[in-house]
Amino acid sequence: MPEPLNVAVVDYDAGNTLSVTRALDKAGASVELTADPEKVLRTDAVVLPGVGAFGDCMKKLRDRGMDAACREVYRSGKPFLGVCVALQVFFESSEESPGIEGLGLLPGGVTRFKAAEGLKVPHMGWNELSVARPHPVLDGLDGEDFYFVHSYYPVPEEPSDVLGTSEYGTVFCAAAGRENMAAVQFHPEKSSRAGLKLYQNFLAWAREL
């Protein structure tokens, strides 16, 4: 049996770090929850969780020097997974926080759901994932239900960056990525068997990169 993959979960007071850490441990990783940018850069793979507003998350990342570390993780080719608001901060900007720059790893911005008859914002609850482009992280997960809590969603400039979609009044990007990076809007750690499968997929993909 291979040694467990060393995975850093970025600790920046983002809310769901402990539940993500526990889920990765259950998936078979050797997990370190760390606020140290140097440790993040030395590990085998990195997971960036996130709960809260776009601007608040970016401020917390900048205050800890983690914004630069995240960009370096991507540049280095290290396997990189974003969860929930992390998907949004991978983009350049958000309507939620005008004037605040995101990490800019993916071209595009983030927009708010438009309230429609019978649909409340935030979008909260279980929803089906449709895989838009085959990707190892989403292997075997087309048509599975995942747990969402969000009022905003990304609009990638490049259609090829969309890995998966869901629908809530409109079809929206629920997963995106390119090269060594992937991110999902939903909470795998709250999504039962399908969520565990996603984390297992990430670990398997990370070993291949």
Active-site residues: which are they? 84, 187, 189
Residue position matching structure tokens 């401020």: 59
Grouping H, G, I as helix, E, B as strand and the rest as coil, residue 113 is coil
Residue position matching structure tokens 């969780």: 49
Angle at 173 between CA 108 and CA 67, to 5 degrees: 50
How many other β-carbons are positioned within 10 Å of the β-carbon of residue 40?
23
| Cβ contact 172:128 at 8 Å | no
Task: Give DSSP secondary structure letters for 17-62.
Answer: HHHHHHHHHHHT-EEEEE--HHHHHHSSEEEE---S-HHHHHHHHH
| Cβ contact 41:77 at 8 Å | no
How many helices (H) does the chain have, and how many strands (E)? 6, 13
